[in-house]
């Protein structure tokens, strides 16, 4: 059945050459764990992508129940965890995945740095990877407020105070994030939700596409 569907689509769109170009890619021997134990350090990039996919899918599920206003945000999270089938599991995956993806990305960055994979001709890809790191941190930061509990509220207050201390653009950054300059409230939650769900994922998709395209063209870096 699946083969028939594939053949039907391929006959009209000719996707086989594109698929072969993506999938039929020779992997260097030094990244094969069966031949070199040190090849496991090359897995951190793939693990980061895998956890990112889990974060996207679980986040899409959470948005089906989450209500981004100060009256119902906490209630919607509580309802999701207590009333929705498997809701607590999916939210747990998203919650812990936010930490795991940062750890995997950090380990991947360390591998690239210590093996010198950021050097010519991969300098641009290194800069793109650093931008991805900052986007991931921003996703974790903006998502922290969304449950709208006491811990999230006061953590966001501290975050906004830190943002205000940034030279030259501190006041503008705080206003952009907070909305209402006098209190962390409905505008803050709405802006953090929009940034977390729309702006940062869009930036992440673009950066990851560029990152993968350059990896495809330049190949995987050699061993240390």
The tokens describing 123, both together, are 């300098």
Specify the range with the lowest mean pLDDT, choosing from 16-20, 55-59, 87-91. 16-20
State pLDDT tens for residues 3-30: 889 888 888 888 888 777 767 777 777 7
Based on the structure, what is the number of domains in the chain?
A: 1
State pLDDT tens for residues 93-112: 999 999 999 999 999 999 99
- Residue 193 belongs to a domain: yes
> At 35, is the pLDDT very low, low, confident or very high (cuts 50, 70, 90)?
low
Beta-carbon contacts of 93 under 8 Å, excluding residues fewer than 6 positions away, are 54, 58
Query: Do 55 and 208 meet the contact criterion of CB atoms below 8 Å apart?
Result: no
- Residue 16 belongs to a domain: no
State pLDDT tens for residues 149-167: 999 999 999 999 999 999 9
Query: Do 55 and 197 meet the contact criterion of CB atoms below 8 Å apart?
Result: no
- Residue 15 belongs to a domain: no
- Residue 38 belongs to a domain: yes
CATH number at residue 93: 1.20.810.10
CA dist 68 → 62, 86, 147, 215 (Å): 11, 21, 9, 38
- Among the listed residues 144, 150, 212, 131, the one whose alpha carbon sits nearest the alpha carbon of residue 177: 144
Q: What are phi and psi of 28, to 5 degrees?
A: -60, 150
The average pLDDT across 38-54 equals: 89
State pLDDT tens for residues 61-71: 999 999 999 99
- Among the listed residues 190, 131, 143, 181, the one whose alpha carbon sits nearest the alpha carbon of residue 161: 181
Query: Do 101 and 51 meet the contact criterion of CB atoms below 8 Å apart?
Result: yes
- Residue 172 belongs to a domain: yes
Q: Domain range for residue 32?
A: 28-218
- Residue 122 belongs to a domain: yes
The sign one gets for the Cα dihedral 174, 190, 61, 85 is positive
> At 218, is the pLDDT very low, low, confident or very high (cuts 50, 70, 90)?
confident
- Residue 110 belongs to a domain: yes
- Residue 199 belongs to a domain: yes
State pLDDT tens for residues 171-203: 999 999 998 777 899 999 999 999 999 999 999
DSSP-based three-state secondary structure for 185: coil
Distance CA 217, CA 211 (A): 10
- Among the listed residues 136, 118, 135, 140, the one whose alpha carbon sits nearest the alpha carbon of residue 127: 118
């Amino acid at each position: 059945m699946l083969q028939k569907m594939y053949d039907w689509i391929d006959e009209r769109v000719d996707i086989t050459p594109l698929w072969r170009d993506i999938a039929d890619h020779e992997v260097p021997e030094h990244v094969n764990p069966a031949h070199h134990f040190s090849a496991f350090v090359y897995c951190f990039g793939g693990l980061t992508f895998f956890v990112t996919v889990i974060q996207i899918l679980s986040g899409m599920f959470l948005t089906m129940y989450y209500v981004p206003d100060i009256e119902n945000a906490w209630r919607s999270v509580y309802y999701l965890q207590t009333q929705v089938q498997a809701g607590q599991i999916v939210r747990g995956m998203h919650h812990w995945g936010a930490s795991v993806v940062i750890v995997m990305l950090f380990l991947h960055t360390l591998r690239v740095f210590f093996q010198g994979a950021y050097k010519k001709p991969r300098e641009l890809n290194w800069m793109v990877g650093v931008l991805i790191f900052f986007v991931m941190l921003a996703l974790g930061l903006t998502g922290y407020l969304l449950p709208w509990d006491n811990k999230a509220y006061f953590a966001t207050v501290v975050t906004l105070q830190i943002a205000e201390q940034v030279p030259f653009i501190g006041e503008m950054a705080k206003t952009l994030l907070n909305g209402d300059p006098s209190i962390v409230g409905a505008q803050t939650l709405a802006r953090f939700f929009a940034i977390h769900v729309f702006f940062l994922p869009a930036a992440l998709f673009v950066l990851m596409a560029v990152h993968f395209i350059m990896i495809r063209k330049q190949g995987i870096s050699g061993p240390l």
